[in-house]
Structure formats: structure tokens, C-alpha cells
Structure 1
Amino acid sequence: MKKHGILNSDIARVLATLGHTDCIVIGDCGLPIPDHVERIDLALRIGTPSFFDVLDEVLKDMQVERAVFATEVLDRNEAVMARATAMAGNGIGIDYVSHDELKRLSHDARVVIRTGEATPYANVVLYAGVIF
């Protein structure tokens, strides 16, 4: 049995197989997931697990060079905007695109991790970096 890190076997598997610039999406419970993209559904009920709970654990385990958020967070979700700013302060490149464009980007994701989050625009595309 794993002792540390992400215990969810599907998430651990995906993170272990990412290469440089591969991407994953962490989304709220309403984000549409393309049929051809693997879905890891963690949603138990509204709010559980939260977007931030999942994002924090993934960031502990994944080398991220860039994150993409919807421009709508800038005036519609102050908490997500603050987290994006904090991530930038930790050396992660941050980009903003329209929510429609973020949904288009999800078509190229290796996986979409669905949370129970129910606040507007609590979604992010994370691009893998390298550890060397």
C-alpha cells in the first residue's frame, strides 16, 4: 500500500505517465468532459472534494510548468484568481483564456479530474514540466 502522495490509483497512474507538456484538467462538477478523454470522477456531493483540495494534492505530486485558467475568474471567482496568483509566485506560468477556449483545450488533456466544486469557473489546465 502506498504510504505518501496521491492514493487514488487512477490519478497516480496518470501523473506517473505524463511527459513534458502533456496536460491534465481539474474541473468543477459542471465542466463538460469530452467523450474521448479519460474521466476520473471524484465528486461525492456538491463541494466535496473541493477544487482546491484536489489542486493542492496534484501540485504536490506533479511538476507543473504552466497553468491555464478562464479569464472569467478575474471577476467571477476571486478565490481561484488568488490561487492562480499564488501559483505564479511559485514559478508556474499562468495564462488566461476564455472559458470556451479552456473547454476546447480540455479536448487535448490526458485526463479530466472531476471534483465536487460548484463555484463558477473553478477549472484549470495543468501542463507538465520536467524535473531536471
Structure 2
Amino acid sequence: MIKTGILNPQLNSLLSRVRHTNTLVIADRGFPFWPGLETVDLSLVDDVPRVVDVLRAIQMNWVVGRIWMAEEFRHHNTASALAAITSMTSPIPICWESHVDFKKRVPSAIGLIRTGDTTQYANMILESA
């Protein structure tokens, strides 16, 4: 029995298949469904878990080399929400781009993790280092 770390077997399986430079999406509760893309749905209720909760758990055993986020996150959320993201991800670079360009990257990801996050544009694409 797993005693520490990520306990969800579907999420463990997905993470173990991500290789160097592969990408993985962590999405909020309203992110569109992507046919053909493996989705691990962790959503429980509003804001449980949040994107940052999943990122924190993943970072314990997974090396993130780069992160993409929608530029709109910076314009639709508070300065404290932005500070929470940037402090948590530092020194990993965040590549800010329009949400339209962000979504063009999604089909090439290994999988998608859906959260209960209600924060606007909180979605992230992580590239494995």
C-alpha cells in the first residue's frame, strides 16, 4: 500500500508515463473536454482540489522544466493570486500566452488532470525536464 505521496492510482499511472519534454495539463473545473486525451478527474467540489494543490503534489516527485499559462490569468485575477503562482513555481519559467494559443498546445499533451479550481484561467501546461 502506498503510504506517502500521490495516492490516486490513475494519476500515478499517468505521471509515470510522462517522459523528457512531454507535457501534462492541469486544468480548472470548466476546462473543455478533449476527446482522445487521457483525463484524470480529481474534482470534488468547487476549489477542491485547486490547480496549485495538484502542482504542489506533482512537484514532490516530478521535475517540471517549463510552464505555460494563459496571459488572461494575470488580467482576471488578483495580484495575490499571481504572486501565489509565481512564488510556487519559481525558478521554473512561466511562458505567458493567449488562452487561444494555450489551448493549441493541449492536444499534444500526454494527459490532462481536471481539478475543482474556480480561478479564472488557472490552467497550466507543464513540460517535463
Do Structure 1 and Structure 2 share a fold, with TM-score over 0.5? yes
Q: 1:101 offset after TM fit, Å?
A: 1.3
Question: In structure 2, what is the equivalent of residue 65 of structure 1?
Answer: 65
Q: CA RMSD in A?
A: 1.5
SS of alignment partner, residue 102 of structure 1: helix
Q: Provide the residue aligned with 2:97 in structure 1.
A: 97
Asked if the contact 1:84–1:94 (Cα under 8 Å) also holds between the matched residues in 2, the reply is: no
CA deviation string 1:60-86 (max 9, x = no partner): 221000000100111212355224422
Aligned to 1:82: 83
Q: Secondary structure at the match of 2:49?
A: coil
Alignment partners' CA distance in 2, 1:77 and 1:57: 23
Aligned length: 128
For residues 4 and 71 of structure 2, the distance between their equivalents in structure 1, rounded to whole angstroms, comes to: 34
Q: Is the 8 A contact 1:6 1:61 kept in 2?
A: no
- Provide the secondary structure at the position in 2 that maps to 1:61: coil
1:13 pairs with 2:26: no
What are the ranges of 5 or more consecutive residues in structure 1 without an aligned counterpart?
none
Correspondence list, 1:92-131, <5 A: 92-129=92-129
Between the aligned partners of 1:33 and 1:81, the Cα distance in structure 2 is 26
Q: Does the 8 Å CA contact 2:65/2:127 hold for their aligned counterparts? A: yes
2:78 maps to 1:43: no
Q: CA deviation at 1:88?
A: 5.0
Measure how far apart 1:8 and its partner are: 0.7
TM-score by length of 1: 0.88
Q: Quick one: structure 1 residues 51 and 88, their matched pair in 2 at CA, closer, same or farther if it must change by over 3 Å? A: closer
In 1, Cα distance between equivalents of 2:100 and 2:55: 21
The 1-side partners of 2:84 and 2:19 are apart by 24
Percent identical among aligned pairs is: 35
CA apart distance, 1:38? 0.4
Q: What amino acid does structure 2 have at the position aligned with 1:115? A: T
Deviation at 1:123, TM superposition (A): 0.4
Task: Provide TM-score, normalisation by structure 2.
Answer: 0.90
